[in-house]
Chain A
Amino acid sequence: MELNNQPQPEVYSDKILDKTEGEGVEFVKQQHQIQIEDPDSWQNEESNHNFILASADALINWSRSSSVWPVNAGLACCAFEMISTASSRFDISRFGMEIFRPSPRQADLLIVNGTLTWKMAPQLKRIYEQMAEPKYVIAMGSCAISGGLFRNSYAVVPGVNKIIPVDVYIPGCPPRPEALLYGIQMLHKKIKKQRNFEKRKSA
């Protein structure tokens, strides 16, 4: 893009932007071929909290689970079932999730819906890293769980859990809004079991 016959500053040149993006994609593709473990192992351990810490825990977990704010990484068809869940028939604001934040820095739930391609993978990892702790991830639809119908393709990531750790999986193609609401209730149950006054074992 040359404007007024003046050469653009180097950082805006198309070739360099495309080349850095391509290198980022190849880097992610080589690093992320193995599945990341689901962050579930803490649920089976014994808790040695006393009464005060346990009731403080219950209060904090109740307030966290009642107002989870999602950011939507709406990639493909499943995004429209999520928008249907958020509109007036299957109301999602009765579960506290009315506000969909456009910016990941103000959200604590990432709902990945739709097929993830290798070209989009670095951007999704960036969105996940920009969110503040505590953060949760829901993989919605069969394309996000395992690549779905497009698993054998040359450009599709076979499952979002190769890039980011996932808490709840919701199968379906696309899952009905009632299924998404059931998955959100499972996430609330998981949040209510958290222990907030212990050191985290792993990152």
Chain B
Amino acid sequence: MALKTETFLVNAGPQHPSTHGVFRMRFILDGEVIQDVEPVFGYLHRGIEKLAEGLTYSQDMVFTDRLDYLASMTNNQAYAVAVEKLAGIQVPERAEYLRVIMAELMRISSHLMGVGFLTNDIGAFLTPLLYMYREREKILDLFDMVCGQRLTYNYMRIGGVSQDIPEEFLPALKKFTDTLPRFIEEYEQLLATNEILLVRTKNVGILTKEAAINYSTAGPVLRASGVKWDIRKAEPYSVYNRFNFEIPTATKGDVYDRYRIKIEEMKQSIIIIKQAMEQLPQGEIQAKVPKVLRPPKGEAYGRIEGPKGELGFYLVSDGATNPYRLHIRPPSLLNLTPLRELVIGVKIADAMAIFGSIDICMGEVDR
């Protein structure tokens, strides 16, 4: 008797515990092996680029918080860098150092969530995630001290930052950076030599160096495939050229390497924060910017290194109070482009691990 098999369609729908947000994948399966996948986006498309043309430049800062809602400080910084490049505004020194401290704290928080949700998807249901939430709550307490919010800060302004730090901020920050390395060691003890994690992540989802460059990926995904490209060293913005830090890279480009890079980047961020705390000068926190800003005619592209990759804002101005065109370069959408090539031919459980290691945020993919 001849056996006949058929392929069938399975929908990992928009409401799903493993997809990070509202993301839909249509799999065509043969048993458990994936033959084809089609990602469907747009369930969180809010039309930010069109809404931004109806508000002024300083009012548009609130939209940038909601883009990558796990890393609001770096979104604010990217938009401020772009507008300052367009209008030719110089930011005072104390504001630059404060921006660097907030951005590096944000990077630690976002990588904690990235690693936590990756281990959540692999099967260690909630235990490493709750350990990492403990550190993230301390970071959110520091942000609460500075600007009063836990998730969408709106802290940076065009030309500086909005408020100065209170006196209890620096001792609390010093205590945090002194105790964090011990906690990262605790995570290493839990996870780094764990057999199940090694078997499920090594040699899974290998992205070669040429493919990573051709697909326009950026951030930890590009660095895990062997390309040493970081905007903080390639085109230094703010005061990053005054700090000594390294850029970790890996060679193979599998899921284990992307997880490893995030842990190493957290250690480098602690080094940057310690240097910034020592060099913090006194002074003003905001440059003199007119109440209603009318930049000269022209266009500019300002970019920073966010936790998920290169985040850039492309602005076109025609001399009015509102931008004529605002375009956002979304690192999460471009890191998702090789998903189809990586996932074809593996089993569904591996596909969820690969998807979790790319670490996307749907607010940025759909905008």
* Chain A interface residues toward B at CB < 8 A: 1, 3, 11-12, 14, 17, 73-77, 79-81, 84, 87-89, 102, 114-115, 117, 119-120, 123, 127, 149-150, 152-156, 173-174, 176
CB pair B150 A76 closer than 8 Å: no
Question: B16, B42, B44, B48: which has the most chain A beta carbons within 10 Å?
Answer: B44
| 6 A-B contacts (beta carbon < 8 Å) | A3-B7, A75-B43, A77-B363, A88-B133, A117-B44, A120-B44
What's the least CB distance linking B326 to chain A, in Å? 14
CB pair A77 B66 closer than 8 Å: yes
Bound together, the chains give a CA A155 to CA B63 distance in angstroms of 16
Bound together, the chains give a CA A76 to CA B272 distance in angstroms of 31
CB pair B69 A155 closer than 8 Å: no
What's the least CB distance linking B264 to chain A, in Å? 25
CB pair A119 B45 closer than 8 Å: yes
Q: Let me know if B13 is at the binding interface, CB within 8 A.
A: yes
Sorted nearest first, the 3 A-B pairs with minimum C-beta distance are A77-B69, A153-B47, A120-B43
CB pair A174 B152 closer than 8 Å: yes
Q: How large is the interface on B (under 10, 10 to 19, 20 to 34, 35 or more residues)?
A: 35 or more
CB pair A1 B69 closer than 8 Å: no
Please, which residues of chain A bring their CB within 8 A of the CB of B15? 73, 123, 127
CB pair B45 A1 closer than 8 Å: no
What's the least CB distance linking B211 to chain A, in Å? 21
Closest to A126 in B: B15
Q: Report if A76-B69 is in contact (Cβ < 8 Å); known contacts: A84-B133, A119-B45, A153-B47.
A: yes
Closest to B47 in A: A153
Q: Which of B28, B44, B137 contacts A75 (CB 8 A)?
A: B44
Q: Report if A3-B35 is in contact (Cβ < 8 Å); known contacts: A12-B9, A84-B133, A150-B51.
A: yes
What's the least CB distance linking B329 to chain A, in Å? 20
Please, which residues of chain A bring their CB within 8 A of the CB of B50? 153-154
Bound together, the chains give a CA A75 to CA B44 distance in angstroms of 8
Closest to B45 in A: A155
Closest to A11 in B: B9
Q: Mark B11-26, 1 if CB is under 8 A from A, else 0.
A: 0011111000110001
Q: Mark B141-153, 1 if CB is under 8 A from A, else 0.
A: 0000000001110
Bound together, the chains give a CA A184 to CA B63 distance in angstroms of 29
Please, which residues of chain B bring their CB within 8 A of the CB of A153? 46-47, 50-51
Bound together, the chains give a CA A81 to CA B54 distance in angstroms of 29
Please, which residues of chain B bring their CB within 8 A of the CB of A87? 129-130, 133
CB pair A149 B63 closer than 8 Å: yes
Bound together, the chains give a CA A77 to CA B151 distance in angstroms of 8
Please, which residues of chain A bring their CB within 8 A of the CB of B152? 77, 173-174
Please, which residues of chain B bring their CB within 8 A of the CB of A120? 14, 22, 43-44
Q: Let me know if B36 is at the binding interface, CB within 8 A.
A: yes
Q: Let me know if B341 is at the binding interface, CB within 8 A.
A: no
CB pair A1 B70 closer than 8 Å: no
Bound together, the chains give a CA A87 to CA B26 distance in angstroms of 31
Closest to B144 in A: A176
* Chain B interface residues toward A at CB < 8 A: 7, 9, 13-17, 21-22, 26, 28, 35-36, 38, 42-48, 50-51, 54, 62-63, 66, 69-70, 129-130, 133-134, 137, 150-152, 362-363
Bound together, the chains give a CA A102 to CA B129 distance in angstroms of 18
Please, which residues of chain A bring their CB within 8 A of the CB of B28? 1, 3, 12
Closest to B14 in A: A123
Q: Report if A117-B363 is in contact (Cβ < 8 Å); known contacts: A77-B151, A123-B14.
A: no
What's the least CB distance linking B92 to chain A, in Å? 30
What's the least CB distance linking A44 to chain B, in Å? 35
CB pair B69 A156 closer than 8 Å: no
Bound together, the chains give a CA A77 to CA B69 distance in angstroms of 6
Q: Report if A74-B130 is in contact (Cβ < 8 Å); known contacts: A80-B70, A89-B137, A173-B152.
A: no
Closest to B42 in A: A119
Bound together, the chains give a CA A14 to CA B24 distance in angstroms of 14
Please, which residues of chain A bring their CB within 8 A of the CB of B43? 75, 117, 119-120, 123
Bound together, the chains give a CA A82 to CA B62 distance in angstroms of 21
Please, which residues of chain A bring their CB within 8 A of the CB of B22? 75, 120
Bound together, the chains give a CA A73 to CA B16 distance in angstroms of 9
Bound together, the chains give a CA A70 to CA B317 distance in angstroms of 47
CB pair B45 A117 closer than 8 Å: yes
CB pair A81 B151 closer than 8 Å: yes
What's the least CB distance linking B168 to chain A, in Å? 20
CB pair B51 A88 closer than 8 Å: no
Q: Report if A80-B69 is in contact (Cβ < 8 Å); known contacts: A73-B15, A87-B133, A156-B47.
A: yes
Please, which residues of chain A bring their CB within 8 A of the CB of B46? 115, 117, 150, 153, 155-156
Please, which residues of chain B bring their CB within 8 A of the CB of A150? 46-48, 51
Question: B15, B44, B48: which has the most chain A beta carbons within 10 Å?
Answer: B15
Bound together, the chains give a CA A143 to CA B48 distance in angstroms of 14
What's the least CB distance linking A133 to chain B, in Å? 20
What's the least CB distance linking A40 to chain B, in Å? 27
Bound together, the chains give a CA A123 to CA B15 distance in angstroms of 8
CB pair A115 B44 closer than 8 Å: yes
CB pair B13 A17 closer than 8 Å: no
Bound together, the chains give a CA A81 to CA B26 distance in angstroms of 29
What's the least CB distance linking A170 to chain B, in Å? 15
Q: Report if A1-B151 is in contact (Cβ < 8 Å); known contacts: A87-B130, A120-B43.
A: no
